[in-house]
Amino acid sequence: MHQIPALSLPSTPSRWRRFACMMYEGVLLFGVVFLAGYLFDTLTQSRNALMLRHGRQAVLFIAIGVYFIMCWRKRGQTLPMKTWNIRLVDGDGAGPSAGRLFLRYLLLWPIPLLAALLVLAASRATGYSSTDLFIVFAPFTLFIWTWFDRDGQFLHDRLLGTRLVDVQKP
C-alpha cells in the first residue's frame, strides 16, 4: 500500500513575530494615513478634523485598503511582513485572489472595531475620559482568536482559507 506524502505546509509565524510585524506596520501606516489625510484636507480645504469627518474616514479606509491589497497582491507581503519573513498565502500555498484579499481586508475590521466600541462604552460608563487611552489595544484583539485556533491563525484567515506562513530561509 502506497502512502501519500502529507502536504508540508510552512509553519505559522509566532505570535511575537506577528506582533512585531504589526507594530512596524503601524509605523508605515502613519505615513499612509498622513499622506491620504493631507491630500484630503488640501483638496477639500478642510480647516479642522471634524470638517467632513465621515468623508475623511472613508478616504482613510480606502487608502489603507489600497495599501494592503496592493502589497498582498504583488508578493503576499507588505514591507514589515517581508522584514519579519511572513507571507500571506491561500490554502494551496499560492497568492490569494484579489477578491479574497478584498474580503480579508474587510474582515480585519470587525473585531478591533468591537474592541474600540467596548473602550468607548467603558469610558462613558465610568465617566473617566482617560479610559479612552485603552483604544491603543483595540488592534491587538485580533490575536485573541489565535489562542483558540488549531493552527494559531487569525479568525479572518480561518474564515477565508488564507494563512500567514513563515518564509524564513533555513
Tens digit of each residue's pLDDT (9 = 90 or more) over 31-70:
999 999 999 999 999 888 788 989 999 999 999 999 999 9
Q: How far apart are CA 116 and CA 125, in angstroms?
A: 14
pLDDT for the residue 170: 62
Q: In Å, how far are 56, 91, 92, 93, 135 from 161, measured between CA atoms?
A: 32, 6, 9, 10, 29
Residues ≥6 apart with Cβ < 8 Å to 105: 65, 68, 69
Residues in the chain: 170
Question: Cβ-count burial of 104 within 10 angstroms (0-12 exposed, 13-18 middle, 19+ buried)?
Answer: buried
pLDDT for the residue 131: 86
Query: At 71, is the pLDDT very low, low, confident or very high (cuts 50, 70, 90)?
Result: very high
pLDDT for the residue 7: 54
Number of helical (H) and strand (E) elements in the chain, helices listed first = 6, 2
Prediction pTM value:
0.86
- Given a contact cutoff of 8 angstroms between Cβ atoms, the answer to whether 13 and 86 are in contact is yes
pLDDT for the residue 61: 97
- Given a contact cutoff of 8 angstroms between Cβ atoms, the answer to whether 151 and 129 are in contact is no
